[in-house]
Structure 1
Amino acid sequence: MCLDEQKNVIESEPDQAKQEILTEFDLNSPEWFLNRELTWLEFNRRVLHEGQDSRNPLLERVFFLSVVGSNLDEFFMKRIGGLKQLVGAGVKKLSVDGRTPQEQIDDCHIVVQDILKQNQMLEVELKRLLAEAGIVLVRYDQLTKEQKTFADNFFYDNIYPLLTPQGTDPAHPFPFISNLSLNLLVKVSYPDTEHAHLNRIKVPVDSEVSSRFIQIGKEDLYVPIEDVIANNLDLLFPGMVIESCDFFRVTRNAITERDQEQANDLLSMIESALRDRKFAEIVRLEVNSNMSLSLRGMLAAELNINEEKDVFEVEGLISKRHLMQIAQLDRHDLHFPPHQPVDHPELLGEDPNIFHIIREKGSILLQHPYESFDTSVERFIKEASEDPKVLAIKMTLYRTAEQSRVIQYLIDAAQNGKQVAVVVELKARFDESANIRWARFLEEVGIHVTYGVVGLKTHSKVIFVVRKDFDGLHRYAHIGTGNYHAGTARGYSDLGLFTCDSVIGSDLTDLFNYLTTGYTVARKYKKLLPCPNLLKKKLLEKICREGKLQAEGGQGLIQLKTNALEDKDITRALYKVSQAGVHVDLIVRDSCRLRPGIPGLSENIRVISIVGRFLEHSRIFYFRNGGKEEYFIASADLMKRNLESRVEVCTPVELLRLQTLLREMLDIQLNDRHCCWEMQSDGSYVKLQVEPGEDEHSSFEYLIKNAEKRLKTTLRMVVKKGKNALKKK
């Protein structure tokens, strides 16, 4: 019976017939699962919509367009690259949604082409609006004579010395094209001859000297660097005839995993994998739309790609990720109102020692970027590095900033005689080189560095401090959902928990012993739910428990906030409890396999996605549990790779005042009508609209105001307390 037939019968037949139909759902059937790659592309449609939304400030709209370009680059490097490897290996196994690897690639290409068309239309619109706002992006031929002279002089002084034309002929094979580099393909000939020569010129976009857009004079007038190069080719090819000049870019596969089990030196293995990536298979060729068919075919042949499937014509700018340069211009009138993270009110106690505050409070919940990262997390590490009573500091490091105060504080701690151990994840995608540098640097200053457990990525976010208090040793910790990166802490929505809970401290001792030794002996965690051995099992148990409580007359409720829901077992479990009557709210940022709103299967499930000013990155798991409510925050998404192939940490949030904060956050996002997209049963999304008379503030604005309100309330109490103390005197 098809879905429409089931729906009609369910709506018209009595309860007994409905129950018979419910048993017909085969939860192994591909039709109940959405494709991971396609749902991720749909997320990028939502990001693109933010660029199209005229309610957003102009430079923020440019930012969103840049993000879509960057996301598509990563999508081709990671996801299409991985699928192409499966195709090359002859893998025919179907995905859980019933597609072969090649079918997934073909379906993704169709969606990508549509996104590219929308990108181009948005680029044209934004350039027009930028010009009206006094920020002008033009081609070289649109410059005045004086402006061209400025551009030419800039080229001669700053760009020309960096360029190396590479000819192609029998003595000069076609050159290597690096990943994501922007290139010119120049066709030249000698005067009075018909024989042409091809040359490749790499545009030095990402050097310290050159940015993508050259500012002409002191005005907000910008011209693309490749356009300036293209109009000064006579310096590179003196006396030659320039017959044509085109632009192109390649994207290479980033999936170059090596066998960690066989590696004698993990550091060397990762370095070798990075070298492999540099020369990896090309998965996409982008060319300007007016490149001739003959040149496009020649490029495809030289790069060994399928001209029909892997060549993408681009209108406007190739590599729109570089529009980030424009998005970051200092025009406050064209950005969101400035947001300054506030200090956490509970960290403003009379006692300046952060460990005393945590011990007094028991646990403290941090909300970034609404509350400051540097006056909470960085302060925690800094004070630990200086406090004479702190004996040891242990932490996991997945990604961090290039100029990281966290790293400096760890070095200070080691120099102050404390035991410092850092678990560095060398395989953090696209941060491998940085993490190798940090690992070597930390080892050189005497810090104990390990690389986690063989075969598993260490994705957990934990800082663990052992301190000798007046009554003996105590363990303090920060457990977070986001990386220890000061930059992303201002743009990502994340959560963190300071705690001195002795049971969690004991669990963390076991966790770090596991990470630093790799021994997979049985470890009995009492509160923490780590991956890969425990979290998935416990989540499935808790989902099932909610269904049983519902059957016993309860009002089951599950609310899960995550970046992605990809794991098929979690998806099936949610379908089953929905059939039992449990209400399920899912706040899923991007990929989601589950289809909500299917009568008899998932009509009790709601799926929304919040997209706006900050990148949603926190994970919250809530279970009503018959009134004995449970809240958890985690570093893990609900994906097979996270739950089964990574070291992740999920921690309970048990104090009522902290649960109240999480409840407030969930309710605000579930009621957002400004930045909220609701998934339909076919996997499409509908942007919710603000009804007349409804509050137009987004969930981001509410969370900013609530953080400021909490701080003001605390400061008023401090002032009042001070006045009362003066009166008593």
Structure 2
Amino acid sequence: MSLKTGASLDDGPLEGEPFGHAPETFDVDPPYVPDHDALAAVEAYADRFADRELSWLHFNQRVLELAEDPELPLLERARFLAIFTSNLDEFFMVRVAGLKRRIAAGVAVRAASGMLPREVLQAILARSGELMRRQAEVFRDQLVPDLSAEGIEVVRWDDLDRDEQKYCKKFFKDRVFPVLTPLAVDPAHPFPYISGLSLNLAVIVRHPKTGTEHFARVKVPQTFARLVSLGNQRFVPLEDVISAHLKRLFPGMEIVATHTFRVTRNEDLEVEEDDAENLLKALEKELLRRRFGPPVRLEVEETMEPRMFELLVSELDIDRDEVFRLPGPLDLRGLHGIADLPRDDLLYPTFVPTTHPQLAEVESSSPVDVFDAVRRHGNVLLHHPYDSFATSVQRFIEQAAADPHVLAIKQTLYRTSGDSPIIDALIDAAEAGKQVLVIVEIKARFDEQANIRWARKLEQAGCHVVHGVVGLKTHCKLSMVVREEPDGIRRYTHIGTGNYNPKTARLYEDLGMLTCDDVVGEDVAHLFNQLSGIGRNPHYDRLLVAPDTVRSGLVEAIHAEIAHHRAGRPARIRLKANSVVDEAVIDALYLASQAGVEVQLLVRGICALRPGVEGLSETIEVRSVLGRFLEHSRVYAFANGGEPTAWIGSADIMHRNLDRRVEVLVRLPDGPLTERVGELLDLAFAPTTDAWHLASDGSWTRRRGEAHLQQALIERQRRRR
């Protein structure tokens, strides 16, 4: 894909374009417009895009490397091992499932990397197998011995003493046995349905008189902790307890063999949209069908007998390349239970977010009057989790709900917590007679059921609930409060990079701006009207809005840096994102590098750009930071000829964000906010900062520095208390 396939800088908005014109903020004299020769110089590198799926596996490898890091607190390493499992599960359920669907449909279109879908799938399966075996070795050879040295033991059934076995026998009899359902396979009992991600026991039993053998499946119930506590910080896998008592499930039969296995299924959704109510019903039906998606992976214990193995492969109708023989125990998500142990000596030091100084300094009332604080400062840049979400964004919504001067609240919700105070505040506001509009994205992957429930609850309370634009996910993070004040109506807005979720706000690194700027308020009001109504073509002064202007706006900003560099003015591009995949934006960055512009990318996950390629990307540096917080913010910063600009928002540099979602980037006001973002990037790209560095061949190498980005920010937050 070439730069020409992206939005051309010469193209105006399409007639009837729903999300408006880009702000005119990238004018440079003379402008830079790439000609045919410039584009050809980039396109000459046919292998300039790394494969996105294999790049994601490199990301999960970095997570695994954290579990291997002896310098990290031990229980945090256990948590990273569990996160590795969860990450890979979702990758197979969605990305591998999508690849298999394209292969089955005969869609043999090459990826931007030049690989065919089947080639990508084969590479994924080979690399995934290596990583899963490496994970099992980390658990067995590093984590278990290290935990044991700290008095925490994960043992198998044969390691239990007599008292522990007696305890497990009673636990099985009283608690586990009543919920188990053995399912036999014989002419009267067809092979049972195996639910996705469930852990199962495959059992072969023999009739003692006839010698006839039968296969049976026992599902390990998810209602109990995966690791059974024996006291004194000793744990045994639940499947071991069940295996030791199978005779109670199959009385009069001999237990010949028992092994664990686990199936991963296609759990991506395909929903046709007509109108909001039909979408709700269609999605509810599709969620029921999700449980019955075809298998995309089978994990089995490496000791599994051949006949049992062959039966599973045959009955599940799965390719042998998609079967992984692994050392037990399978499914290490259960290590979250170990990581939650109250052992402060083996965890990260306690961290408590603090109220942002510009919100904390207002002494006119308690709790802080957020509206007063924003009026005083005009703009407040929040950086979570260092700045408390509860005393900033959450308080902003709760205060708006209770304030009699507030006339209306408008809010987007993509993901939120199960007991969300945001939801409660919106309901309170509606019940108090305020106009409340909530854009609930019910297609947020794996949160669909929860969002459907919230949508109905909000509707019942009198909120205006809409589901955005047909064909697009509403992923932008926006809140707007309309308040009547002595000098007239004033809009207060919050634009962020993260979800309105108080729980994840303590774990995810995100940025957000609270502002009463009239221009930003006008822009956000126009966008909400388009999401809920049928408005057309407003002009945005401070926003870039996907699917129409984010890609073209970023490309134009990159081209402006090239023009500045050619004119001898300061030029630099620094981007922070979860993923960098879009070919048009990457090609624009290659053009900038060929022109000599310094480019720095901080990418948590996928990066399809190849840095350091001679003649193509020699001035591009790519880093990745992983740690106790999930780096989630998106920042786009430009030197802009000596007048720096910075944008924050919800959009990653991916096709789905730029083409199939409603995303928003807001330009931060010149001055302190832009400078603060620059300082954050300075710290991230400092030579002494601990980070992974991407090589031109797609490999990542950790370069340990004197300071970790997140720890440095924690220390800075503590100093300002």
TM-score (normalizing by structure 2)? 0.93
Q: State the AA in 2 paired with 1:410.
A: L
1:107 paired to 2:141 = no
1:247 paired to 2:266 = no
1:303 paired to 2:319 = no
Q: State the AA in 2 paired with 1:702.
A: A
Q: Which residue of 2 aligns with 1:6?
A: none
The 10-residue stretch of structure 1 (81-90 or 271-280) with the greater mean CA deviation from structure 2 = 271-280
- Cα distance between partner residues in 2 of 1:23 and 1:413: 54
2:442 to 421, 426, 435: 426
Q: Which residue of 2 aligns with 1:8?
A: none
1:337 paired to 2:349 = yes
**Aligned in 2, Cα 1:281/1:24: closer, same or farther, shift over 3 Å?**
same
Confirm or deny: 8 A CA contact 2:637 2:646 kept in the other structure. Answer: yes
Confirm or deny: 8 A CA contact 2:637 2:678 kept in the other structure. Answer: no
Q: Deviations over 1:203-237 (max 9, x none)?
A: 112x2xx1101111x31111111110000111111
Q: Which residue of 1 aligns with 2:617?
A: 602
**Aligned in 2, Cα 1:672/1:355: closer, same or farther, shift over 3 Å?**
farther
Q: Deviations over 1:157-196 (max 9, x none)?
A: 1111110111111111111111111111111111132211
Q: State the AA in 1 paired with 2:95.
A: R
2:622 aligns to what SS in structure 1? strand
Counting only pairs closer than 5 Å after superposition, residues 107-506 of structure 1 correspond to structure 2 as 107-124=123-140, 125-205=142-222, 207=223, 210-216=224-230, 218-261=231-274, 265-306=278-319, 308-348=320-360, 349-352=362-365, 353-506=369-522
Deviation at 1:24, TM superposition (A): 6.7
1:36 to 36, 45, 52: 52
1:562 paired to 2:577 = yes
Confirm or deny: 8 A CA contact 1:546 1:558 kept in the other structure. Answer: yes
Q: Deviations over 1:634-671 (max 9, x none)?
A: 11100011011101110111141212221121111112
Confirm or deny: 8 A CA contact 2:136 2:328 kept in the other structure. Answer: yes
Deviation at 1:427, TM superposition (A): 0.6
Deviation at 1:502, TM superposition (A): 0.5
Confirm or deny: 8 A CA contact 2:151 2:233 kept in the other structure. Answer: yes
Deviation at 1:23, TM superposition (A): 8.4
**Aligned in 2, Cα 1:252/1:225: closer, same or farther, shift over 3 Å?**
same
- Cα distance between partner residues in 2 of 1:252 and 1:241: 32
Q: State the AA in 2 paired with 1:283.
A: V
Confirm or deny: 8 A CA contact 2:42 2:587 kept in the other structure. Answer: no
Confirm or deny: 8 A CA contact 1:30 1:96 kept in the other structure. Answer: no
Q: Which residue of 2 aligns with 1:54?
A: 70
Confirm or deny: 8 A CA contact 1:44 1:71 kept in the other structure. Answer: yes
Q: Which residue of 1 aligns with 2:26?
A: none
2:391 aligns to what SS in structure 1? coil
Kindly, what percent of the aligned residue pairs are identical?
A: 45
**Aligned in 2, Cα 1:230/1:529: closer, same or farther, shift over 3 Å?**
same
1:529 to 541, 544, 555: 544
**Aligned in 2, Cα 1:350/1:97: closer, same or farther, shift over 3 Å?**
same
- Cα distance between partner residues in 2 of 1:191 and 1:346: 77
Deviation at 1:469, TM superposition (A): 0.9
Deviation at 1:28, TM superposition (A): 6.6
- Cα distance between partner residues in 1 of 2:85 and 2:606: 18
Confirm or deny: 8 A CA contact 1:123 1:316 kept in the other structure. Answer: no
- Cα distance between partner residues in 2 of 1:567 and 1:359: 39
Cα-Cα RMSD: 1.5
Confirm or deny: 8 A CA contact 1:253 1:281 kept in the other structure. Answer: yes
Which runs of 5 or more residues in structure 1 are unaligned?
1-19, 691-695, 713-729
- Cα distance between partner residues in 2 of 1:524 and 1:658: 24
2:444 aligns to what SS in structure 1? coil
1:582 paired to 2:582 = no
- Cα distance between partner residues in 1 of 2:520 and 2:689: 38
**Aligned in 2, Cα 1:61/1:269: closer, same or farther, shift over 3 Å?**
same
Q: Deviations over 1:30-89 (max 9, x none)?
A: 411100000110011111111111110000110111111110001100110000000010
Confirm or deny: 8 A CA contact 1:51 1:65 kept in the other structure. Answer: yes
Q: Which residue of 1 aligns with 2:6?
A: none
Q: Which residue of 1 aligns with 2:29?
A: none
**Aligned in 2, Cα 1:24/1:386: closer, same or farther, shift over 3 Å?**
closer
Q: Which residue of 2 aligns with 1:722?
A: none
Deviation at 1:479, TM superposition (A): 0.8
1:631 aligns to what SS in structure 2? strand
Deviation >6 Å, runs of 4+: 20-24
**Aligned in 2, Cα 1:462/1:672: closer, same or farther, shift over 3 Å?**
farther
2:376 aligns to what SS in structure 1? helix
Which runs of 5 or more residues in structure 2 are unaligned?
1-35
- Cα distance between partner residues in 2 of 1:375 and 1:412: 18
- Cα distance between partner residues in 2 of 1:635 and 1:596: 25
Q: Which residue of 2 aligns with 1:5?
A: none
Confirm or deny: 8 A CA contact 2:498 2:633 kept in the other structure. Answer: yes
Confirm or deny: 8 A CA contact 2:543 2:667 kept in the other structure. Answer: yes
Q: Deviations over 1:535-584 (max 9, x none)?
A: 11111111011111111222320000000000000000000011011110
Confirm or deny: 8 A CA contact 2:408 2:482 kept in the other structure. Answer: yes
1:560 aligns to what SS in structure 2? strand
Q: State the AA in 2 paired with 1:342.
A: T
Deviation at 1:689, TM superposition (A): 2.8
**Aligned in 2, Cα 1:239/1:672: closer, same or farther, shift over 3 Å?**
farther
Counting only pairs closer than 5 Å after superposition, residues 541-560 of structure 1 correspond to structure 2 as 541-560=556-575
- Cα distance between partner residues in 2 of 1:188 and 1:490: 49
1:658 aligns to what SS in structure 2? helix
1:388 aligns to what SS in structure 2? coil
Q: State the AA in 1 paired with 2:511.
A: L
- Cα distance between partner residues in 1 of 2:688 and 2:579: 21
Confirm or deny: 8 A CA contact 2:380 2:513 kept in the other structure. Answer: yes
Q: Which residue of 2 aligns with 1:97?
A: 113
Q: Deviations over 1:290-329 (max 9, x none)?
A: 11122111111111111x2111112122111221111111
2:586 to 571, 582, 587: 571
Q: Deviations over 1:428-454 (max 9, x none)?
A: 000001111111111111111111100
Q: Which residue of 2 aligns with 1:13?
A: none
TM-score (normalizing by structure 1)? 0.92
**Aligned in 2, Cα 1:236/1:28: closer, same or farther, shift over 3 Å?**
farther
2:43 aligns to what SS in structure 1? coil
- Cα distance between partner residues in 2 of 1:40 and 1:520: 39
- Cα distance between partner residues in 2 of 1:620 and 1:181: 39
Deviation at 1:525, TM superposition (A): 1.0
- Cα distance between partner residues in 1 of 2:300 and 2:429: 51
Counting only pairs closer than 5 Å after superposition, residues 658-673 of structure 1 correspond to structure 2 as 658-671=673-686, 673=688
Confirm or deny: 8 A CA contact 2:276 2:466 kept in the other structure. Answer: no
Q: How many residue pairs end up in the alignment? A: 681
- Cα distance between partner residues in 2 of 1:25 and 1:132: 58
